[in-house]
Structures are given as structure tokens and as C-alpha cells.
Structure 1
Amino acid sequence: MTTDLVDLPPRFGMDRPAFDKLEGRRPGELRAATSVILARDGAEGLEVFLLQRADGMAFAAGMSVFPGGGLDDADRTALADGLVDAGAAARAATSWGTTEDEAAALLACAVRETYEETGVLLADAAVPPPGTRERLAAREVGLRDVVGHLAADRLRPWARWLTPEPMPKRYDTAFFVAAVPEGQEPDGATSEAVGAGWCAPARALREWDDGDRALMPPTWAVLTELAAAPDVATLLASATGRRPLPVTPSLRPGGERVGIAVPAFAIGAAR
């Protein structure tokens, strides 16, 4: 696999004055996070569920994103609490190159954030009582109070992106793919979003090209790869056993603009 860098479209760059303000600053702390690519088969092929973040958000304001968010302390006890069984934790640890405890925490975070932001519950459980989702988001209850066991094998590893060092807010984000369970439908009813819906990856990219949709580099790169999958079965098969390599975009100062480059494998240019 080549590690050659590929320049992303110039729109992803930043003005030189904005970059200069970052130089010399202490980089933000790297926080573990997850993002879940919910997928279904639509009339024209594979579709994914995208949220449009509210303009007032401190991070990724106005962007179209997959559901997700940062790990919290409760996520880190998922293995000890029995939310994730040892076998699933071991498989996830191999995929992500981390410990079983950390891998179980990623799975718990992915399930929790997906439920909070979309109402889809990736777990072996009946639909919780009304108001449970809101109580979980408010931290009045924990995920262990909502479900007894996570359906961890529904989550397949896809990609891992790290925010570059100069940025004040930095995340080490594990991207999973998951088919929407039968009988469930995501709604995007979260205070963090002002819109949500299903969209074919290729259409989302065309809307970005036309200036009708805002995307961050990781979302754009993931959508670029997803556009090659004709259906959910193919997507899940390609994700099975996948071991995502970490992608940290490189900032390339030059003239009035600072460009961004990533390894070729990050956008499926070489696999």
C-alpha cells in the first residue's frame, strides 16, 4: 500500500492568516470519538444517513456529518459492565490496533451516540420506553440502563481520522459502518442538527461540488469510498476484517492558501 500524499480539493484549505494564527499555539488535546455510517439499500442503490450540524455548534458548524461524538467516562467501562462481550471486544481490538477495553469503549460510544442522535439502537434489546433517548442524552441514565448487551457485530470498522496538531479541537475518530436494523428508522431529532436524511454518497458529493452541501475532509473522503459500493451487503462485506490505518491530514502552506493532503489510501486511490 502506497503512502504517497494526495492533495484534497482546494476548498478544504484555509487562508494563510488563519493558519498563521494557529502556528506556535499549543495543539488541542486529542480526544477519542466515533462516527457511524448508517446504511440502507435505496431505490437507486446504497444510501447513507447524514445530519446537518447546527450553525451555532462549536465544532463542524453547518457541516453534513455521520452521527457520532466523543467518548465519555461511562463508555470506558463497557467491557467490565458486560455491555460488550469479550469476543467482540477482542475482534474490535484487532481491527483498531488497541486494547480490548478501549475497543469496547469505541463500540459503546458508537451505539450511544447513534441512539442519541438518530433514535436507532444497535443493540440486542426491545425498543426502550418513551423518553429514554432524551434521558440518556442528558446523562440521567447510562447506556447500561437502556440495554443489556450491544449488538457489536453490527458495527464494522471503516476508517480512522485524526485532526492535525495545529487545530484547537482535535479528535481521533473511528468510523464504523452499520446497516439500519429492520423496523428502525433514523430521525435526526437532536439539538445538534437542523436537518437530516438519507442520501446516496455520489449525490452528496455532487451537492458538495455544487456548493449546496458542506463537508469536512474525512466525510468527503469516506463518501468518496462509499460511492463505489452498490449495496449494503457489498459494503459490509468489504468492511469485515478491515483494519483502518490512521489518517492525519498534512497541512501544506503555500502562498495565500494552505492546502491539505492525505495518504492515497484514505480516499481509495490505492488499496
Structure 2
Amino acid sequence: MTTDPVPIPAATVVIFRDRAGAPPELLMVERSAAMVFAGGAMVFPGGRIDPGDHALAAELELDDDGPARVAAVRESIEEAGVGPGVTPGDATTIARLRAMLHDGATMGAALDAVGASFDPDVLVPFSRWLPLGMRARIFDTLFYLTRMPEGAPEPSVDATENSRLVWTTAAAMLGEADAGRATIIFPTRRNLERLALFGDYDAAVVQARAHAIRAITPWFEERDGVRHLRIPDDQGYPVTAEPADTVRRA
């Protein structure tokens, strides 16, 4: 009998940029093709929760998801050069933070060194994904929503874990994937379909707060003789099943 690997706690942040009279743009990065997990796929900035994230969350006396909030912002700084909730959030400060984080500093130590602070309340919980049945790595990932900070520097790719960075609408990225010009894995596709429902950031927050966060663990189910990968139908997702032969898993 085989057992699943132990889930790795992780966090992801969906950064919105509202546009007048047009759907909001979302910040996404393309994972380097050599990465073991989701290599070559388009994803939102994020990654595993580190011990330093737990330490800062404890220092700030944050709630249970505090380490995930710290990790989401830290990963956003590392991968995209954007620091939601970080004050000051100017280009110089974020660049210094990014350099220190890339050199191995913890988020808390980096903030102290540049005299910056962190407000975790800018992040709004959106979903939690815990796919099982993976052979290599399983991530237990909390997704958060936030706005692109006012006065923040233009995002830039880190060119290590990621090879490309784009602002895109949810619908446009789904179109790119359907045309074969981009790769998205199953959780990202479902989240993009949900994000495509919203005309702006505030609408996304309203819907997110209407659904209690619980782990979404997809499962296989036969439908009319066709095997599908399914998710619950009460979590705000407009598409809850996909034929198994079209699914891209990490």
C-alpha cells in the first residue's frame, strides 16, 4: 500500500490591479521549466511556509493563519518584487528586502534591517487547496487576495524559480491555456475560472467572505462513463469537474 507524502504548508497571493471599465488584471509568474513542482506552469506568486514565517507571525501575535500571511507576502517580494502590506513599500525598500530574502534572511530580520513594517490585514482569505494522490510533493496551500499596493514598484521576475511575469485577466490566461500557449495546473484553472467572475477586487472580496475556508481536495468520479476530477460545488467555483484526460496536475 502506498501513502501520500506529508503535505507541505504553503501560501499564495492573487494580486489585483483594477481597471476602469475593464476586468481586473492579475499578477502571474511562469515557473521555470526545470522546477520539480509545476515546472513551466503559470501560477500566482507563492511557496512553502518557512520557520521564519512562523517566528514573525508569533512575534506579531497573528491568528492561526499568520504564518501563511507572512509567507504569501515574502514570496511575493521574492518572486515579483511586490510587497503587499509592507510600509514603506517604495522601490528602494522592496529591492533591499528582496535582496536580503534571496540571501537567506528571514522576513522578520529583513523588515527590521530596513525599518519597515507589515500589515497582514491587507490579505483576504480566498481558498485552501489540498490535492492528494500526488507521487512527489503535496502542498496544503492557502490562497489570499490583495490589491496592488499604491505607489508600489512595477513587478519584476526573479529569473531563478520563475522565467516570466505577466499582468493578465483571468479570462485571457484561460484563453492562452486553451490555445496551448500557456500551461496551468488543475487548481490554477479552477481559481482562474472563479476569478473571472469578478468585475473588480471588491466583488472578489465579497464572494470570498461569503464562503468559509475549508480544504478543497479533488477526487475522481465517473460521469456518464467518463472519469472526471471533481471539487465541491459549494465553494464559489463555477466549474467543479473536468474530464480526467484533460487535467494537468503538478
Could you tell me which residue of structure 2 aligns to residue 155 of structure 1? 123
Is 2:215 the counterpart of 1:246? Answer: yes
Is 2:73 the counterpart of 1:73? Answer: no
State TM-score, norm by structure 2.
Answer: 0.83
Deviation at 1:166, TM superposition (A): 4.2
String of CA shifts for 1:75-118, please: whole Å, max 9, x gaps. Answer: 11223322xxx4xx3xxxxxxxxxx3x41111111111111111
Is 2:2 the counterpart of 1:37? Answer: no
Residue 29 (structure 2) aligned to one of 51, 62, 66: 51
String of CA shifts for 1:44-103, please: whole Å, max 9, x gaps. Answer: 321101111111001000100000000111111223322xxx4xx3xxxxxxxxxx3x41
Q: For residues 209 and 238 of structure 1, do their structure 2 counterparts lie closer, same or farther at Cα, with a shift above 3 Å needed?
A: same
Q: For residues 74 and 241 of structure 1, do their structure 2 counterparts lie closer, same or farther at Cα, with a shift above 3 Å needed?
A: farther
Aligned amino acid, residue 183 of structure 1: G
Could you tell me which residue of structure 2 aligns to residue 120 of structure 1? 82
Is 2:120 the counterpart of 1:143? Answer: no
State TM-score, norm by structure 1.
Answer: 0.77
Could you tell me which residue of structure 2 aligns to residue 171 of structure 1? 139
String of CA shifts for 1:230-271, please: whole Å, max 9, x gaps. Answer: 0122223333475222110113589xx96422222356249x
Q: For residues 216 and 130 of structure 1, do their structure 2 counterparts lie closer, same or farther at Cα, with a shift above 3 Å needed?
A: closer
Provide the rounded CA distance (Å) in 2 between the counterparts of 1:249 and 1:267. 15
Provide the rounded CA distance (Å) in 2 between the counterparts of 1:129 and 1:180. 14
Percent identity over paired residues:
26
Deviation at 1:31, TM superposition (A): 0.8
- Residue 47 of structure 1 aligns to a residue in which SS? strand
Is 2:64 the counterpart of 1:64? Answer: no
Could you tell me which residue of structure 1 aligns to residue 177 of structure 2? 208
For these two proteins, the number of residue pairs brought into alignment is 229
String of CA shifts for 1:195-239, please: whole Å, max 9, x gaps. Answer: 111111011111111121111111111110111100122223333
Residue 236 (structure 1) aligned to one of 173, 198, 205: 205
- Residue 265 of structure 1 aligns to a residue in which SS? coil
Q: For residues 198 and 252 of structure 1, do their structure 2 counterparts lie closer, same or farther at Cα, with a shift above 3 Å needed?
A: same
Provide the rounded CA distance (Å) in 2 between the counterparts of 1:268 and 1:132. 35
Provide the rounded CA distance (Å) in 2 between the counterparts of 1:81 and 1:217. 36
**Could you tell me whether the CA contact under 8 Å between 1:163 and 1:248 is conserved in 2?**
yes
Unaligned runs of 5+ in 2: 240-250
**Could you tell me whether the CA contact under 8 Å between 1:251 and 1:260 is conserved in 2?**
yes
Q: For residues 160 and 129 of structure 1, do their structure 2 counterparts lie closer, same or farther at Cα, with a shift above 3 Å needed?
A: closer
Q: What is the root-mean-square deviation of aligned Cα atoms in Å?
A: 2.5
